[in-house]
Amino acid sequence: MSKSKALRTSRSSDVVNQVYSNRVLRSEFDRNWRTEISRSGYVIYVATANRAKVEVILSGGVNKRLVFPRGGRVIVGGGGTSHYSKPHRTITI
């Protein structure tokens, strides 16, 4: 079995609706995102292409890859709370 096939079968994936998290320690966005600042001070990331990806490290050591359609949004507010638009796919990595 190839290494990539083994990795694919060891990951769990779900399609989820709108969620929020205050457990995000770090996020890395691929090049398919535009950044905006709202009047209230939120940072808003907007997906500019289908399959735009964000890799997040959560407290507790869990790593996830989030995959959004074009127009998907990640809104980051005070205290590190992140809101994720629906629907998007989550993959535990």
Q: What's the confidence (pLDDT) of residue 13? A: 66
**Which of 3-12, 69-78, 79-88 shows the lowest mean pLDDT across its residues?**
3-12
This prediction has a pTM of 0.78
Q: Which residues are within 8 A (CB) of 61 and not within 5 positions of it... i.e. 6 or more apart? A: none
| Amino acid letter, residue 57 | I
DSSP state of 59: T
User: Two tokens at 72?
Assistant: 């998907």
pLDDT at 62 over 70: yes
What is the model's pLDDT at position 80? Answer: 73
Which two three-digit tokens encode residue 21? 């998290």
* 58 exposure class (CB count in 10 Å sphere: 0-12, 13-18, 19+): middle
Encode pLDDT of 14-51 as tens digits: 666 656 677 888 999 999 999 999 999 999 999 999 99
What is the sign, positive or negative, of the torsion defined by CA atoms of 40, 45, 48, 50?
negative
